[in-house]
């Protein structure tokens, strides 16, 4: 059936996205290690000569690979979104169809129809998607928690670092901010509005969801968090 095929494809896409994220995080860790060039640091010294403390060809290759992975991640995430919409539509269609009488005279599908369940913290083994089958293959519930931003810079001793955020963490939820439009502006507004107050944050780290609280506050560095988010 259509829903079954889409469900299988979605699970495969989730596995693919997890593999992409793992490779991206590994590259980011290597590039951003102490003394490293970072994701966009100069490869030449102050006099314009190639830096002798790094392997420039390797750095260029890893940055190029990271760019490819980001593009693949975006395409894969978009396809996952499309499939989730198809599964939602299939579920709505199955609910709106006239009930059939079973042998016992009860309407089929009347026994504990699963409702759409949304949770801040999905099971790590579900690869961010939970698909449940009821008595009908078309009765599919989907829960999707898709990261919308990544921590690509974080300062030592900053509020973000002290509260547990790490380089490469992917943001699923930041206070009231989830996927949508104008994310950078909304993230900044959420931090400013909640200065001095703990903000619940859900992140994805190495394929596993984690709950944190981050408190925006003044410190010796710039901003209220001391980190930078890159929208995925």
Q: What is the pLDDT of residue 72?
A: 92
User: Quick one: the chain helix, strand, coil %, rounded to 5?
Assistant: 40, 20, 40
Look at residue 37 and give its three-state secondary structure. coil
Angle at 85 (CA atoms; ends 23, 212), nearest 5 degrees = 50
Pair 149, 232: CB distance under 8 Å:
yes
Q: What's this model's pTM, rounded to 2 decimal places?
A: 0.46
Residue 93 pLDDT: 65
pLDDT at residue 95 in the model: 56
Are the beta carbons of 119 and 142 closer than 8 angstroms? no
Nearest alpha-carbon partner for 193 in 169, 176, 172, 170 = 176
Radius of gyration of the chain (CA): 22
Do 195 and 217 meet the contact criterion of CB atoms below 8 Å apart?
yes
- How far apart are the C-alpha atoms of 104 and 201, rounded to whole Å? 49
The answer to whether 30 and 23 are in contact (CB under 8 A) is no
pLDDT of residue 7: 79
Q: What is the pLDDT of residue 118?
A: 30
Q: What is the pLDDT of residue 2?
A: 58
- Cα–Cα dist 157/2, whole Å: 51
**DSSP code, position 44:** B
Q: pLDDT tens digits for 71-116?
A: 998 898 888 878 777 776 766 666 555 544 433 444 334 333 333 2
Task: Retrieve residue 179's tokens.
Answer: 């996927």
Q: For residue 33, what pLDDT is reported?
A: 85
Residue 162 contacts residue 216 (beta carbons within 8 Å): no
Non-local (6+) Cβ contacts of 183 within 8 A are 148, 149, 177, 229, 231
Residue among 35, 230, 208 at smallest CA distance from 125: 208
Q: Is 13 within 8 Å of 19 (Cβ atoms)? A: no
Q: Would you state the pLDDT for residue 45?
A: 84
User: Which regions of the chain are under pLDDT 50?
Assistant: 99-144
């Amino acid at each position: 059936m259509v829903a079954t095929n889409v469900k299988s494809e979605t699970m495969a896409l989730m596995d693919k996205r997890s593999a992409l994220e793992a490779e991206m995080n590994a590259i980011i860790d290597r590039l951003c290690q102490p003394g490293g060039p970072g994701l966009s640091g100069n490869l030449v010294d102050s006099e314009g000569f190639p830096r002798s403390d790094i392997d420039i060809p390797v750095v260029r290759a890893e940055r190029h690979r990271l760019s490819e992975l980001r593009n693949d991640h975006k395409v894969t995430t978009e396809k996952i979104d499309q499939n989730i919409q198809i599964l939602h539509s299939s579920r709505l269609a199955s609910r709106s169809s006239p009930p059939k009488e079973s042998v016992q005279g009860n309407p089929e599908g009347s026994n504990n129809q699963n409702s759409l369940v949304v949770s801040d913290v999905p099971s790590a083994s579900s690869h961010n998607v939970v698909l449940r089958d009821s008595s009908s293959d078309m009765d599919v519930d989907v829960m999707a928690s898709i990261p919308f931003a990544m921590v690509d810079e974080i300062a030592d001793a900053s509020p973000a670092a002290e509260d547990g955020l790490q380089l490469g963490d992917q943001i699923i939820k930041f206070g009231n901010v989830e996927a949508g439009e104008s994310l950078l502006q909304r993230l900044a507004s959420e931090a400013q509005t909640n200065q001095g107050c703990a903000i619940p944050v859900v992140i994805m780290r190495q394929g596993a969801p984690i709950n944190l609280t981050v408190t925006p506050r003044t410190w010796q560095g710039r901003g209220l968090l001391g980190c930078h988010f890159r929208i995925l």
